[in-house]
Structure 1
Amino acid sequence: MSTAPAYGFAHLRSRRPHPDILEYLERIQATLDPFRGRFVIHGPPAEVIEGTWPGSMVLIEFPGLAEARAWYESPAYQDILRLRTDHIEGDVLLIEGVGPDYDPRERAAKLRAGEGQG
């Protein structure tokens, strides 16, 4: 079992105010709880220090990628998904984080050796 957390990341570019969004917000935590998901970032304005960033972001942490996938595919979440997607345009991805012993120098060494091109 991996010790690395996983994240659900959303870049939300355009929002159209609608009562469905409020319902989505009221119901999402109950869909996360069985998978030990928790909000880390939830849409505050970002201080952009390089480039541009239209919109806002959401970051949800899970114990691992299996839990993140299971949450997204769960009937409870699928039941509320359209409440968001009908009114907010954006991109959503699941990504595995790094474990507590991650060292970027090891990644650099693999890249120098021609490994880990992904």
Structure 2
Amino acid sequence: MPKGYIIGHITVNDPEAYKEYVAKDTPLLMGLGGRFLVRGGQAEVVEGAAEDRHIVFEFDSFEAAKAAYHDPDYQEVAKIRHASASSTIMVAEGNDEDLPDPAGGTPLGYLIAHVTVHDPEAYRPYVTGNTPIMRGYGARYVVRGGQAEVLEGDLGGRHVVIAYPSFEAARAAYHDPAYQEVAAIRRDFSEGTIILVEGAA
């Protein structure tokens, strides 16, 4: 069964109050079966605009991820986040690929994309053309297609999370000239945000 993910992008407006949220949400979500793939860490918004902090929380299924977000205890704690930060939050069904082995024990790197496709037929060559390039850098597709539901804020209609053996591998894959050539198709027929982010240690 594919895993499920809570994906969040957050800008903290009140750091002291937000610390209380982190202290309460972490044990709660972990107690509901979640584990952090991405939490803080270095990040680079390479296309579009995004919040300052990025999280990816993995659960055993899409239903488990949704249930964790909607859990009454979590919703009570989320009130602290709502008061101290601006957020976009979604749940997404996983692609069921194993994560890559970290390079030398370093944290994994991730590419997180939220895009709205304007011409699906013209966009298709991008989908088929980018995959072999990404795979050459050790990519595994964590989220690609599948069910998705935006719970807070505004995100595009297509969501992708790609894991790499390291943050440096994620950056190298994105900046590869061959990928940038294929990415021109995506830019012509979609709009959105792409973030490179370091995984949780």
Indicate whether the TM-score tops 0.5: yes
Unpaired runs of at least 5, structure 2: 99-126, 129-145, 147-157, 159-201
TM-score (norm 2): 0.45
**Corresponding residue number in structure 2 for 1:58:** 55
Question: Which residue does 2:75 correspond to in 1?
Answer: 78
- Could you tell me how far apart the structure 2 residues matched to 1:69 and 1:47 are? 27
One-letter amino acid of the structure 2 residue matched with residue 6 of structure 1: G
RMSD: 2.4
Q: Distance in 2 between matches of 1:100 and 1:57?
A: 21
Can you list the C-alpha shifts for 1:62-118, whole angstroms capped at 9, x where unaligned? 1101111111111210110011111211210000011138xxxxx96xxxxxxx9x8
Q: Does 1:87 align with 2:122?
A: no
Q: Which moved more, 1:71-80 or 1:28-37?
A: 28-37
Distance 2:31 2:5 in 1: 15
Check the 8 A contact 1:4/1:98 in 2, yes or no: yes
Mapped to 1, the partners of 2:86 and 2:47 lie a distance apart of 20
Partner of 1:100: 97
Describe the SS at the equivalent of 1:86: helix
Q: Distance in 1 between matches of 2:19 and 2:53?
A: 17
Equivalent residue for 2:9, pick from 1, 8, 11: 11
**1:32-43 counterparts in 2 under 5 A?**
32-43=29-40
Q: Return the structure number with greater strand share.
A: 2
1:21-36 equivalent positions in 2, closer than 5 A: 21-36=18-33
User: Is there any run of 5+ residues in structure 1 with no aligned partner, and where?
Assistant: 102-106, 109-115
Q: State whether residues 12 and 18 of structure 2, in contact with CA within 8 Å, keep that contact through their aligned partners in structure 1.
A: no
Paired with 2:61 and 2:48, the residues of 1 have a C-alpha distance of 30
Q: Larger RCO: Structure 1 or Structure 2 (Cα < 8 Å, ≥ 6 residues apart)? A: 1
In the alignment, is the contact (CA less than 8 A) between 1:27 and 1:80 conserved in 2? yes
Contact 1:36 1:62 in 2 (8 A): yes
Cα distance in 2 between the residues matched to 1:39 and 1:19: 22
- Report % sequence identity: 25
